[in-house]
Amino acid sequence: MSPPNLHLPLIDLSSTDRASIAQSIRQACMDHGFFYVINHGIDDSVVSSLFRESKKFFDLPLSEKMKLERNTDHRGYTPPYAETLDLSSELKGDLKESFEIGSINDSLNQWPSKERMPAWRVTMESYDEKIMNVGFRLISLIALALNLDENFFTKIGALDSPLGFLRLLHYPGEIPESKKGNYGASAHSDYGMITLLVTDGVPGLQICREKDRSPQLWEDVHHVEGALIVNIGDMMERWTNCTFRSTVHRVVAVGQERYSAAFFLNPNYDCVVECLESCCSETSPPRFPPIKCGDYLMERIRVAYSR
């Protein structure tokens, strides 16, 4: 049973005390790898529209959704049971279905027909723009949290044409008998820089702060109305020499339909990810060699989809 006392830090983006916010983010990223963000500037009506249009797509017959099946560039629809995020799991086939969209104006994106869903594309692009802006604000605060100039990631070009991906997710309420042991999304950590998640309030998300502990202790991430859930990805953990943690998480089936949308914010393809000066010393040398962001992400994806 998950303990009821997990209290993730609450980061208020309306605060003018940036030093205090940065310190709170630093502690959150060291202790949990997850935190809530409130007063982020995205209206509830925008989120409602996002989920309304998402539901319209996922309510389509499978044959219609498969016309937009995920392509080799990982844009489009992925049906239930097609992915198992936990590569070590004996239970194959996560329950979720998803739809992935690249950055605005990404020619590789796939879209439902305008005739069938006239508001779908404009809704997704509007949300993408707004959540990207929140991501930029957070990256600036994360730089401060790492004892760097607040514009550090901008100055090194990391945010020039960043790689942003929006993944719409739907978890079923009813589960076939043959899949009743499976997870909505099995245990995994995110590959990239940071992830910004919005949910419809249905529970199910859990985190495991000590991934090497046996048995693992899973804690429920509770819904906070109007808040985004933000987590550190593996690339940021690597960049910070493991100062910030990329926490393993999963979604368990709770007998209710669940909708969420994860936005993955990553640097541009050619940005070199190497240990930050503020995160290494003579006694704590860099643990990882430099690598281009795009090469790192592509290798992680290749490994995930080759199994």
Q: Tell me, yes or no, if the pTM score tops 0.75.
A: yes
Location of structure tokens 């290798």: 299
When pLDDT is cut at 50, 70 and 90, the band that residue 5 belongs to is low
Which residues, in sequence order, are CB contacts of 286 under 8 Å at separation 6+?
A: 241, 274, 275, 280
Residue listed under structure tokens 């998640």: 197
- Residue 122: is its pLDDT beyond 80? yes
For residue 181, the model assigns a pLDDT of: 84
Residue 107 binned pLDDT confidence (cut-offs 50, 70, 90)? confident
Q: Is the pLDDT of residue 260 over 60?
A: yes
- Tell me the CA distances in angstroms from 297 to 7, 76, 191, 194, 255, one per residue in order: 31, 18, 7, 13, 33
pLDDT tops 90 at residue 1 = no
pLDDT at position 262: 98
Q: Please give the average per-residue pLDDT across 139-168, as a whole number.
A: 96
Q: For residue 36, which of 225, 233, 254, 259 has the smallest C-alpha distance? A: 225
Q: Give the rounded percent of residues in the chain with a pLDDT score beyond 70.
A: 97
Average pLDDT over residues 38-66: 98
Between 274 and 211, the higher pLDDT residue:
274
